[in-house]
Each structure stands twice: as C-alpha cells, then as structure tokens.
Amino acid sequence: MSQDANIRIEVPFHDVDILGIVWHGHYYKYFELARTALYRSCDFDIRKMQAMGYIFPVIESHCRYVQPLKYGQQVSVRAAFEGHISYIKISYTVTDDTTGQRVAYGYSKQAVCNADNTMLMAVPDEVIHAISR
C-alpha cells in the first residue's frame, strides 16, 4: 500500500512541559491528526466507517522518540498505510521542517469491529477497497 498523508504542525505552548519540551503523550495526538488526514485522503472518514457498520479501535501503538520537540518547532507528520490483514497498520514519521531530521516515528494498529464491538478476524473487502483509493 502506498497511500500516505502529510500534515504540518507548529508545536503549541500547551503541549510543552516545565522543561520546554513536548510531553511524550502528545506525540500520539499528532499521530491521530495525521491518521485522520490519511483516512480523509481516501474519502473514508469516521462517519463513513460508521455508515458501513464498523468501528476501528486502536489495539496497539508505539512511538520511538529520537529528538525532543520544543515549543514553536515546525514539524511534518506523515502517516501511511502499512498493511491490512487482520487489522489496519499505519506508520508515522515526524520530521523537523527546518533540518529535515526525523524526530520521532511509530505505528498504530486498528482492529475492525462490528457496531456491536465484535472484532472481525479479517479486514472486510469493502474497507480494503475504501482505503486503497
């Protein structure tokens, strides 16, 4: 799969701690923003997922912190589909816009569940078709 999306973020003051660096949990917020842009680039936002009768809970996530982010820093966050057999895997890369250096990377895995929260053992073909556009 080669579908990807990029967003730009300026690190806001409310995301930094007393040391002036981004609190580690906010990286997942940045991943979420990029993941939303990725799904929207396929015209497959949460409302369309729900209209199909599915929900997509995150079942696993990981972030590797390479360099700390600081207030006002301009970064790009790239999200890309990596696979979709029994779950949807999305990879993320956070890059400093000025230096081009990678500052963090990671992934998330989303299960596909029916509206009644029953996890499916495989990603349905209609979902694969939607994210492959």
The CATH number of residue 29's host domain is: 3.10.129.10
User: What is the total count of domains within the chain?
Assistant: 1
* Structural domain for 116, as ranges: 4-131
Q: What is the pLDDT of residue 2?
A: 62
Q: What pLDDT tens digit does each residue of the chain (133 aa) get?
A: 568 999 999 999 999 999 999 999 999 999 999 999 999 999 998 889 889 999 999 999 999 999 999 999 999 999 999 989 899 999 999 999 999 999 999 999 999 999 888 999 999 999 999 888 7
Please give, one letter per residue, the 3-state secondary structure of 60-127.
EEEEEECCCCECCCEEEEEEEEEEECCCEEEEEEEEECCCCCEEEEEEEEECCEECCCCECCCCCHHH
